[in-house]
Structure 1
Amino acid sequence: MKILMYAVFEDEVPYIEEFANRTGHEIVQETDYLSEKNVDLAAGFDAVVTQQTVNIPDMVYSRLAELGIRQISIRQVGYDILNIDAIHKAGLRASNVAAYSPRAIAEYTLTQLLNLIRNNKRYYQATESGNWLWSAAPQGKEIHDLTVAVIGAGRIGSALAEMLHVLGAKVLAVDPVYHAQNEAFLDYTNLDDALKRADVITFHTPLNKQTNGMADKDFFQKVKKNAYILNFARGGIIQTSALLENLRSGKLAGAALDVLPNETEFMGKIQNPDKLPADVQELMSRDNVLLSPHVAFYTNLAVKNMVEIALNDAIALSQGKHIENEILY
């Protein structure tokens, strides 16, 4: 089978080559993301795989179908870049990698939470300027004294909840889907109750009509004073203007963000800080805000699994088989 992989980055290459050698499939690598400009590269291939934060235009799906492609597989969890209705209308099937390594994102979320509550950014900045005084930052907090609201208790959210529970935190979960096995380490509740009680609010939901912009002005009005906000899911969940308003006022104790609504303007690039969007510059300037370049997933195991699971699913879909990761709606 001949497979075209779009948006390949350097760290994926060894896993792609190992897969090709082991399975005998021909895999051609393209560094650019899938778009209307390069969709015709798929001519003569049996399957396509991509990974990107840029939306795929609807015409790409119909063109893939014209080229004889029967599927589109993305090697990532979030599939807000896809128009599932348009995909099905074109006669294609789609898949994502729903669980390449939930622990990778959960561990990184926990890492940044610990950095936040111990004021590590302030201490790093202070010591770099020669200030070695304890008073360079306020006293830190300890996990076991905190109540954490996990918004979205799926694979990633529940993995984080279990870690937090082991460390002694009180964990609340807000999720439309109930899993009885999670009761061992979290308590399900509604959003309003979680916001009223939580010292930490962390998002682990997909980006869809229900979650797009959910952390808005009204949302933050319900949040308790001195809460921390974490987002390691999708940037569009939080309205940056509302977040900044509550950071400026001092209502929020801090924030850690691995994703931003406008991240496609600068992520994956070497960017002059002065050229960044104004809201991003303001977030960067705050000593109680931690920003990272959408790397919560970025571990050796996660990259390996993203490549192998996506390729296996692409092959199966192109052969008309059923798979666990197919996106149906």
Structure 2
Amino acid sequence: MKVLIVDEMHESIVHMPEELGLEVDYFPNIAFEEVLEKVGDYEGLLIRSKFSINEEFLTHANKLKFIGRAGAGLDLIDLDACKKAGVDVFGANEANKVAVAEHLIGMILSLFHKVNQGNSEVKRGEWNREKNRGEELFGKTIGIIGFGNNGQATAERLAAFGCKILAFDKYKYGFGNHLIQEVSLQEIYEQADVVSLHIPLLSTTYQWVDDEFFNSFKKNIYFCNIARGEIVKLDALANALKSGKVKGACLDVLENEKLKTLTQEQKETFQFLSTQDNVILTPHVAGWSNESYVKINQVLKDKIRMWLEQNA
């Protein structure tokens, strides 16, 4: 069986499928047009985020049996088209959950204790102690929306900080324990001090976070998104920050991450967010640790192995 790899990944990705007896071709810099020319010769395809896979793409891949995504989330892959074509799809969602959780907690702590702000001021020769008085995470009520791999890993670590953890998942139940309370979304609206998104990008979650979402909270909240940027209408977040409904935000993702292609409205919103001391932005790197880079390959290898066993 031949496997085509079309994105740059940790070098171990070549050897791991080979250990399963597969023939691997690794083209990390291949252009999309070349992929269309080659993919028809392969039963397996490994991709990260170079391009989307849709029904038209699959017409060029008549032999394809499985697609593995080196990362969390499958929103770049048309799952219905793959099912129709008989192509199995799996991701490496488990691989970066530790990196995501640690990154998010680092962002929250930096926001609460004004680490970024204080760091910038001291480097400018300013020594403002009272202005940089922090707020403790201990005792806060955290609303986790989405309790998959990343949501669970984040919740468990925040519980260790002495936080009350409320978790809601539209598609799961029975996951509560002595650390985490399984609740309705309404209970998060009523009780949360901090809200963190851990949900996939679907047609039902696209721009789900809007003005109505923020106005549903009883308290003024801190808001975090390390899921997918398109879930949040950034102008709604900007409005909530201006009104004080959102006291601060941690964003690892944006609705348009190609900053050179922002519309005029997006530019204005981004300019506002980027000038706020109570907003921390990072470039979609929450799951991008040195360790997760390798773990992703290990998870893909295990899933390919299981797929081979099931389809032997």
Q: TM-score, normalised by structure 2?
A: 0.89
Q: In structure 2, what residue type is equivalent to 1:99?
A: E
**Match for residue 86 of structure 2 among 87, 91, 106:** 91
Task: Tell me how far apart the structure 1 counterparts of residues 250 and 218 of structure 2 sit (CA, whole Å).
Answer: 17
Task: Tell me how far apart the structure 2 counterparts of residues 24 and 282 of structure 1 sit (CA, whole Å).
Answer: 53
2:37 alignment partner in structure 1: 40
Q: In structure 1, what residue type is equivalent to 2:202?
A: N
Task: Tell me how far apart the structure 2 counterparts of residues 302 and 322 of structure 1 sit (CA, whole Å).
Answer: 28
- 1:277-321 per-residue CA deviation (whole Å, 9 max, x = no partner) reads 43323221111111111111122332112123224434654x482
- 1:226-254 per-residue CA deviation (whole Å, 9 max, x = no partner) reads 41100111111211110011112222111
Contact 1:148 1:199 in 2 (8 A): yes
- The two structures, once aligned, show a CA RMSD in angstroms of 2.7
1:279 alignment partner in structure 2: 269
Deviation at 1:52, TM superposition (A): 0.7
Task: Tell me how far apart the structure 2 counterparts of residues 30 and 285 of structure 1 sit (CA, whole Å).
Answer: 40
**Match for residue 239 of structure 2 among 238, 245, 257:** 245
**Match for residue 259 of structure 1 among 238, 253, 258:** 253
Contact 1:122 1:136 in 2 (8 A): no
1:50 alignment partner in structure 2: 47
Q: TM-score, normalised by structure 1?
A: 0.85
Task: Tell me how far apart the structure 2 counterparts of residues 22 and 55 of structure 1 sit (CA, whole Å).
Answer: 28
- 1:98-121 per-residue CA deviation (whole Å, 9 max, x = no partner) reads 311322211111111111111122
Of residues 40-49 and 102-111 in structure 1, the stretch that sits farther from structure 2 once superposed is 40-49
Return 5+ residue gaps in structure 2 as ranges: none
- 1:206-225 per-residue CA deviation (whole Å, 9 max, x = no partner) reads 11133222211100111244
Taking only the aligned residue pairs, the percentage that are identical comes to 27
Task: Tell me how far apart the structure 1 counterparts of residues 268 and 301 of structure 2 sit (CA, whole Å).
Answer: 39
Of residues 115-124 and 299-308 in structure 1, the stretch that sits farther from structure 2 once superposed is 299-308
1:123-142 mapped onto 2 (5 Å cutoff): 123-137=118-132, 139-142=133-136
Contact 1:33 1:51 in 2 (8 A): no
1:160 alignment partner in structure 2: 154
1:296 alignment partner in structure 2: 286
Verify: 1:113 aligned to 2:122, yes or no.
Answer: no
Task: Tell me how far apart the structure 2 counterparts of residues 57 and 282 of structure 1 sit (CA, whole Å).
Answer: 36
Q: State the SS of the aligned residue for 1:52.
A: coil
Verify: 1:321 aligned to 2:307, yes or no.
Answer: no
Assess, with a 3 A threshold, how the Cα gap between structure 1 residues 322 and 119 changes in structure 2: closer, same or farther.
farther
Task: Tell me how far apart the structure 2 counterparts of residues 34 and 96 of structure 1 sit (CA, whole Å).
Answer: 22
Return 5+ residue gaps in structure 1 as ranges: 324-329
Deviation at 1:71, TM superposition (A): 1.8
1:326 alignment partner in structure 2: none
User: How many residues in Structure 1 have an aligned counterpart in Structure 2?
Assistant: 310
Contact 1:55 1:82 in 2 (8 A): yes
1:82 alignment partner in structure 2: 77
